A and B are shown apart, each in its own frame.
Chain A
Amino acid sequence: MLMSIDSISKSYNAFPNPPAKVLHDVTLNVDTGEAIGLVGESGSGKSTIAKCMLALIKPEEGAITYDGIDVIHARGEDLRRFRREVQMVFQDPYGSLNPRMTVEELIGEGLLIHKLEPTAAARRARVAEMMEMVGLNPNDMDRYTRSFSGGQRQRIAIARALVIRPRILVCDEPVAALDVSVQAQVINLLQDMQKKLNLAIVFVAHDLAVVRHLCEKIVVLHKGKVVEQGTREQIFDNPQMPYTQSLLAAVPVPDPVVGRARRAARRLETAN
């Protein structure tokens, strides 16, 4: 097991109201090289879990362990190793990339911070290699991100996270802002990177069809609690909890015959 999240609870201050508890006793594990999906309706706590996994916020209760490191209390070399080996990609490829930095500076920043390549030439070579791996043209290294499309920016964000060879990549809605055709490019890229680099991916998304495509393991959240977790087959083919069933039933299917039939059937059910 690479990372374990053990009974964590988290509250946010909601002054003047008492703090609101948004995670209740959440437990889940991430194994090396696996893609795990966090799903649930808006406000169910998906992003809060992702932030805890990245140590951007701390849960009040419970423990998070990454490869022998106690994440919540980690300091010094342990914390540095954690920060290097667990990386993130967020939804908004526009807001998360500094417009004053060139592509080379953006992608190479982690190499510099973690002192992974001593010379500028070696950094440049790693950046070029990474750009090629994610389907960008290394000749664009000196450009600013303004002139890139949403899909290209998300590739830059992914290259930036992967260049320092993390073992876990936490992605919070990485394709939500992208178009259908570009979304497919990014999902394929993530899948490819998972295999090539034996990378574990924690993938947060609303779109259950996308999650099913990418993730072998699924965790279903409802109001800050894990209501069900299992393999892709268990969750999608044989969901146990009514909440999971209702989430799956609501996913629109891009097929007019299937889509209409499903809606008609559901209406009959509610009418009875």
Chain B
Amino acid sequence: MKTVHPLPDAASVVPVRQPLISVDKLTVDMPLGRSGSSVRIVDGVDFTIGVGERVALVGESGSGKSLTARALMRLDRLAKLSGRVDFDGTDLLKLSDRDMGKLRGSSIAMVFQDPMSFLDPLMTIGDQVAETLRIRGIGKAEARKRALAVLDELGVDRAAERLDAYPHEFSGGMRQRVVLAMALVGEPRLLIADEPTTALDVRVQDQVLDLLDDVSTRRGLAVLFITHDLGVVAGFAERVMVMYSGRIVEDGEVASVFAKPSHPYTQGLIKAVPRIDQDLNTLYAIPGAPPPPLARPSGCPFHPRCDQRFDRCGVDLPALQPVGMSRVACHLLDGKGA
């Protein structure tokens, strides 16, 4: 059979990547007080992140973004996890606590929204950045040398002098660089960044994004970037996954999702963001509010707010299915798959 190779145009070139992490039917249950019962927060999530790929995870507050990310690193002791998380051929959910501990920081690292709560105010910057390496048995001098190299790479000026400084001597943006250095010093292959720029003002946010962009390109580092700022997604990520009420409802290339969102929730989100570069008219607002996990509606969890719902929506839960190059969980798209 003869295959046709059309000339690639910029929009249709999709790099095929080696998968780095594959998540399959991941669920996260959290205990409800001391009653012994629990509530399902993450409700069957599947996705893959390729080597060096930059993926954004967006969705409203409480949709389960952080708990999904934390589950990949098994950070919540109380969380009951099920499903599979394959990283480089091993199922992370089956690793012993000890092996998982070794993997944190060396293969997968995470940065959080608030750098100050993550830094120890009584420890010097140099010691904190080197700590990951020290835990792995690397000698003091070598660890310090590598810490310095990372701080340098991240644009902390006079890094050598500042190794002995304390966190309070740094501005917000600089602290976020230090936290990033702590994450990167172990040379992870996947960085999970949970709202790393939300607490920063626009100009500092922009610097941190440029930095992440450079580092991930230079190191071939995959990034899972959690945010609710669609502007940040547009400028940084290659792919975007949209989460609603504990499930992924749309997953696709950033350019195509923004140009033509398929899921009614994604459509609403994109329309609801005021833009600095467009005419002013009344903002579109999705009516209602996201459901709490304990009162998730039947059928499609978005149906009480959806202006395109029809009879099936209140009854059947739509599965995440391929639609063209994307995946979408909506009954409107049934049968329109590839």
A binds B: yes
Write the residues of chain A forming the contact surface with B, with a CB cutoff of 8 angstroms: 41-42, 149-152, 179-185, 187-188, 191, 206-210, 212-213, 236, 246-248, 250-260, 262-263, 267
* Residue from B201, B203, B277 within 8 A of A255 (CB atoms): B277
Q: Is there an interface contact between B283 and A188, defined as CB atoms closer than 8 Å?
A: yes
Nearest-neighbour CB distance to chain B for A50, whole angstroms, equals 17
Q: Is there an interface contact between A179 and B276, defined as CB atoms closer than 8 Å?
A: no
* Residue from A151, A185, A254, A267 within 8 A of B258 (CB atoms): A254
Which residues B235-285 have CB closer than 8 A to chain A?
A: 235, 254-255, 258, 268-270, 272-277, 280, 282-285
Write the residues of chain B forming the contact surface with A, with a CB cutoff of 8 angstroms: 60-61, 172, 200-206, 209-210, 213, 228-235, 254-255, 258, 268-270, 272-277, 280, 282-287, 289-290
Using Cβ atoms and an 8 Å threshold, which residues of chain A touch B268?
181
* Residue from B205, B206, B213, B269 within 8 A of A180 (CB atoms): B269
Most buried by A among B60, B209, B232, B289: B289
* Residue from B200, B231, B283 within 8 A of A254 (CB atoms): B231
Using Cβ atoms and an 8 Å threshold, which residues of chain A touch B272?
180-181, 183-184
A179 to B58, CA, bound (A): 11
Q: Which 7 residue pairs of A and B lie closest in terms of their CB atoms, listed nearest first?
A: A252-B231, A259-B235, A184-B285, A181-B286, A254-B230, A179-B60, A184-B272
Using Cβ atoms and an 8 Å threshold, which residues of chain B touch A179?
60-61, 228, 290
Most buried by A among B213, B232, B268, B274: B274
Q: Is there an interface contact between A181 and B229, defined as CB atoms closer than 8 Å?
A: no
Q: Is there an interface contact between A181 and B60, defined as CB atoms closer than 8 Å?
A: yes
Q: A151-B289, A182-B289, A263-B235 are in contact. List 20 more A-B contacts (CB 8 A).
A: A42-B201, A179-B228, A181-B286, A188-B283, A191-B282, A206-B202, A208-B202, A210-B274, A212-B276, A213-B283, A252-B202, A252-B206, A252-B231, A252-B232, A253-B235, A254-B230, A254-B234, A255-B275, A256-B234, A262-B235
* Residue from A188, A206, A209, A263 within 8 A of B285 (CB atoms): A188
Using Cβ atoms and an 8 Å threshold, which residues of chain B touch A180?
60, 228, 230, 269, 272-273
Most buried by A among B235, B275, B280: B235
How many A-B contacts are there with CB distance less than 8 Å? 123
Q: List 25 A-B contacts (CB under 8 A).
A: A41-B202, A42-B172, A149-B289, A179-B60, A179-B61, A179-B228, A182-B285, A184-B273, A184-B285, A187-B274, A188-B282, A208-B276, A209-B231, A209-B274, A212-B276, A250-B202, A250-B203, A251-B231, A253-B234, A254-B273, A255-B275, A256-B234, A258-B234, A258-B277, A263-B213
Using Cβ atoms and an 8 Å threshold, which residues of chain B touch A152?
289
Q: Is there an interface contact between B235 and A257, defined as CB atoms closer than 8 Å?
A: no
Using Cβ atoms and an 8 Å threshold, which residues of chain A touch B277?
253, 255, 258
Q: Is there an interface contact between B235 and A252, defined as CB atoms closer than 8 Å?
A: yes
Using Cβ atoms and an 8 Å threshold, which residues of chain A touch B286?
181, 184
Q: Are A251 and B285 also in contact (CB < 8 A) when A41-B202, A179-B60 are?
A: no
A236 to B280, CA, bound (A): 12
Q: Is there an interface contact between A212 and B172, defined as CB atoms closer than 8 Å?
A: no
Q: Is there an interface contact between A181 and B231, defined as CB atoms closer than 8 Å?
A: no
A179 to B289, CA, bound (A): 9
* Residue from B213, B270, B280 within 8 A of A213 (CB atoms): B280
Using Cβ atoms and an 8 Å threshold, which residues of chain B touch A42?
172, 200-201
Using Cβ atoms and an 8 Å threshold, which residues of chain B touch A184?
272-274, 283-286
A267 to B213, CA, bound (A): 12
Using Cβ atoms and an 8 Å threshold, which residues of chain A touch B203?
41, 246-247, 250
A42 to B172, CA, bound (A): 10
Nearest-neighbour CB distance to chain B for A171, whole angstroms, equals 15
Using Cβ atoms and an 8 Å threshold, which residues of chain B touch A267?
210
Using Cβ atoms and an 8 Å threshold, which residues of chain B touch A262?
235
Q: Is there an interface contact between A248 and B276, defined as CB atoms closer than 8 Å?
A: yes
A254 to B283, CA, bound (A): 15
Q: Is there an interface contact between A41 and B290, defined as CB atoms closer than 8 Å?
A: no
Using Cβ atoms and an 8 Å threshold, which residues of chain B touch A213?
274, 280, 283
A212 to B283, CA, bound (A): 12
